[in-house]
Amino acid sequence: MGNVPSIKKNFKKKARESATTSPSYRVAILGLHNAGKTTLVKRLKMGFGDGLSEGEVDQCRRTMYRNVLEGLPLLLSFLSEKDVQCEDRDVETTIRRFLGSTDLDDEALSIPSHIGLAIDHLCNEPSVSRAIEQNRHEIPVSPSVKWFINQILRITSTSYTMTEKDTLRVYEPTVGVPTTHLYSEKYILEVIEVEDSDEVRNSHISGFGPLILFVVALDEYDKKVDEKNRMHEAISLFEGIVNAERPKKTTVILLLNKFDLFKEKVEAGIPLSNCFPAYTSGTDVSKACKHIIQQFVSRNRNELTVFTHVMQLHNSSHALSLARMAA
């Protein structure tokens, strides 16, 4: 399988040839898991790197299928809790049997087209589709998995070719501190993606460099993990990072990702005041976003330079403006 067709390689040969004389800058990417750190690295590679390699695209494809197969049991359990059943019980049985017999660690992991048809049939049953729509903010399945399920016939087709949008939707948790080198004609960027782990962060904090990109999932203001609010956790992590002992010249770019999902939730009436009781502006998306930004920047006791950027990494124009900022 070749590279994703829509990912254009912007890498210039002379950039690598001049790498030995070009200045190098280290960029650290931090944030909670599922904020968009890995998606950001992919975007940077596409923006002014040499794109995704054939091996990376193949890995994305396998991970995409794994994302779907890990999300389906959560969806089925949710429907069961709501006492919603597919009229054709054989369809659900077929899906459950496939889930029970599939090794998610298989290097050749995929979803056959007949299973794709079964999933599509299930999700388009009137009672099921109605329950999904009415409870779309409660279903414990990530937005990316929901998107892939909506695309299930396309991604399980025998003629399927992965697109740029598909690779960006894949959720891949950061493990350790993977490093990516990006080259331009004037400089080299050493991009360090840091796992969401206190142990990993603390062991590498002194080597973060002069530029930190801190990624936040705006839409997680109403989510809890182990009874802890995700937005509160993100603010606490940000506070610890910006106030750690480091040179004053350090610059932080606060990237508020998933604005589209945030906007949808706020306008749907899911109250930001449940997360921040002092917030009183209701469904005003602009004021809601500014309130969250203030919660972060007010924690900057070290008085580092902090820029804020509201975006959605799946949007190519947003990513282009980010690439310009990083440059």
pLDDT band, residue 250 (cuts 50/70/90): confident
Nearest to 113 by CA among 65, 153, 151, 146: 153
Q: Give me the percent of the chain exceeding a pLDDT of 70.
A: 87
* Residues of each domain in the chain carrying CATH 1.10.400.10: 58-168
Q: Give me the percent of the chain exceeding a pLDDT of 90.
A: 56
User: Which superfamily does 13-51+174-326 belong to?
Assistant: P-loop containing nucleotide triphosphate hydrolases (3.40.50.300)
Scored b (16 or more CB within 10 A) or e, 197-227 reads eeeebeebbeebbebbbbbbbbbbbbbeeee
User: pLDDT tens digits, residue range 193-207?
Assistant: 888 888 888 777 777
User: pLDDT tens digits, residue range 105-120?
Assistant: 988 899 999 999 999 9
pLDDT band, residue 307 (cuts 50/70/90): very high
**Segment 44-59 mean pLDDT:** 83
Highest mean pLDDT among 19-28, 190-199, 251-260, 318-327: 251-260
Question: Which of 6-20, 69-83, 126-140 has the weakest average pLDDT?
Answer: 6-20
* Residues of each domain in the chain carrying CATH 3.40.50.300: 13-51+174-326
Q: Is the pLDDT of residue 13 over 50?
A: no
User: pLDDT tens digits, residue range 138-174?
Assistant: 888 888 999 999 999 999 999 999 998 999 999 988 8
- Please tell me whether the overall predicted TM-score, pTM, comes out greater than 0.75 for this model: yes
Contacts of 30 (CB under 8 A, 6+ apart): 37, 194, 201, 208, 212, 213, 214, 215, 237, 241
One CATH from 3.40.1080.10, 1.10.400.10, 1.20.1050.10, 3.40.50.300 for 58-168: 1.10.400.10
The answer to whether residues 194 and 38 touch, using CB atoms and an 8 Å cutoff, is: no
Three-state DSSP state, 319: helix
User: pLDDT tens digits, residue range 206-231?
Assistant: 777 789 999 999 999 999 888 899 99
How far apart CA 178 and CA 224 sit, in angstroms, is 27
Three-state DSSP state, 310: strand
pLDDT band, residue 274 (cuts 50/70/90): very high
Cα 258 to chain centroid distance, Å, stands at 8
pLDDT at 21: 61
